[in-house]
């Protein structure tokens, strides 16, 4: 059976973090800290969601001279609807047994 799009454990963690305040602009670094995802995992997810119109993206200039602007993200209206749907589905889904030594997903979060 094919996987439903936007249901990987990592994408669900991103959705969970963003849906807590869907109107707020978020830095990638903050999302990485909240989700525990490394940048090599997080940023491809953010880029994919933005390309699909599920995230708004922007640049915020730095307050400190010589520092580059920071990329910011927030859910679009469609992204918020999809995030809630995917998180609700994951909460209702039975928990799969953990793989050897790996985390398992339960109710949208790792255990």
Residue 68 pLDDT class (50, 70, 90 cuts):
confident
35 pLDDT more than 90: yes
What per-residue confidence (pLDDT) applies to 96? Answer: 53
Return the pLDDT at 110: 47
Pairing assessment for the beta strands 70-75 and 26-27 based on DSSP bridges: antiparallel
pLDDT at 26 over 60: yes
Contact 22, 80 (CB under 8 A): yes
Q: Which domains does the chain have, with CATH numbers?
A: 9-92 (1.10.10.10)
List the one residue out of 82, 37, 36, 35 whose CA is nearest residue 55. Answer: 82
What are the pLDDT digits (tens) for 87-111? 998 887 765 544 555 444 544 444 4
Please report where in the chains the tokens 């609807």 appear, as a residue: 81
DSSP 51: H
Confidence at residue 95, expressed as pLDDT on a 0 to 100 scale:
55
Find residue 110's DSSP bridge partners: 105
């Amino acid at each position: 059976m094919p996987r439903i799009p936007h249901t990987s454990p990592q994408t669900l963690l991103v959705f969970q973090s963003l849906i807590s305040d869907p109107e707020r602009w978020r830095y990638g670094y903050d999302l990485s800290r909240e989700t525990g995802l490394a940048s090599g995992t997080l940023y491809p997810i953010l880029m994919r969601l933005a390309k699909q119109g599920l995230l708004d993206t922007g640049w915020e200039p730095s307050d400190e001279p010589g520092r580059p602007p920071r990329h910011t993200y927030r859910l679009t209206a469609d992204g918020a609807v999809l995030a809630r749907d995917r998180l609700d589905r994951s909460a209702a889904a039975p928990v799969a047994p953990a793989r050897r030594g790996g985390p398992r997903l339960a109710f949208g979060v790792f255990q």
